[in-house]
Amino acid sequence: MLFIFDWDGTLCDSLERIIVSAQRAAGDFQLPVPASTEVRSIVGLGLVEAMRSLFPAVNEEQHQSLAECYRQHFLNLGEELPSALYPGVLDTLEKLRSENHRFAIATGKSRIGLDSVLKEVGLENYFDASRCADETQSKPHPQMLYELLQELDHRAEDALMVGDTDFDLIMAQAAGVRAIGVSYGAHPLERLQKCNPHLIVERFSNIRDHF
């Protein structure tokens, strides 16, 4: 089985760092600072798409600048708000790996952002493949799943997408991949349930109860 994981809010407890980065970027541009709930609602989108959603009144050039400002804040917050895996993630991944499952990441992060946090948590060589939003279409478009399936030579029916947002679940459905939602991340349970995923778990380790 190929397990394709979202990163922020699914494997990595980085939501506070994302919220602070977005709020500081808004402050730098003297824009209204978004509430934490607003920022959580766009987690999973590519950076520029997220800035468009958070700051619809500014132009495209400013969206690009906001995205770069956010990226720098996120990278600079490594010591103040270090990234950490959610409880049970590493143990669960190790057990799944021992059963010869393969792993990939499909994330709204930029490549530089993903590579940075993978190094922070010591998993830079752990996954078989990954796709970031600055390399292909942003979620919920299914392109990054198509590319991962092709690269790793897996059929859609032999893959599972695990994520904490409806962007992940909608993307999986569009690609013909079964989806697992995790209820501890960015989007509330009710928002995940509307997507009718194959399964919703309260803890990452619960995945092992089903696969």
pLDDT, tens only, 127-136: 999 999 999 9
Rounded to whole angstroms, how far apart are CA atoms 72 and 76? 6
Q: Does domain 15-76 have CATH number 1.10.3470?
A: no
Question: Of 1.10.1060.10, 2.160.20.10, 3.40.390.30, 3.40.50.1000, which CATH number belongs to 2-13+83-209?
Answer: 3.40.50.1000
- Spans of all domains in the chain: 2-13+83-209, 15-76
Mean local confidence (pLDDT), 94-120: 94
Rounded to whole angstroms, how far apart are CA atoms 82 and 110? 17
Residue 178 per-residue DSSP state: E
pLDDT above 90 (res 209): no
Please check whether residue 42 is in contact with residue 63, taking contact to mean a CB–CB distance below 8 angstroms: no
Same fold flag, 2-13+83-209 and 15-76: no
pLDDT cut 70: percent of the chain above it: 100
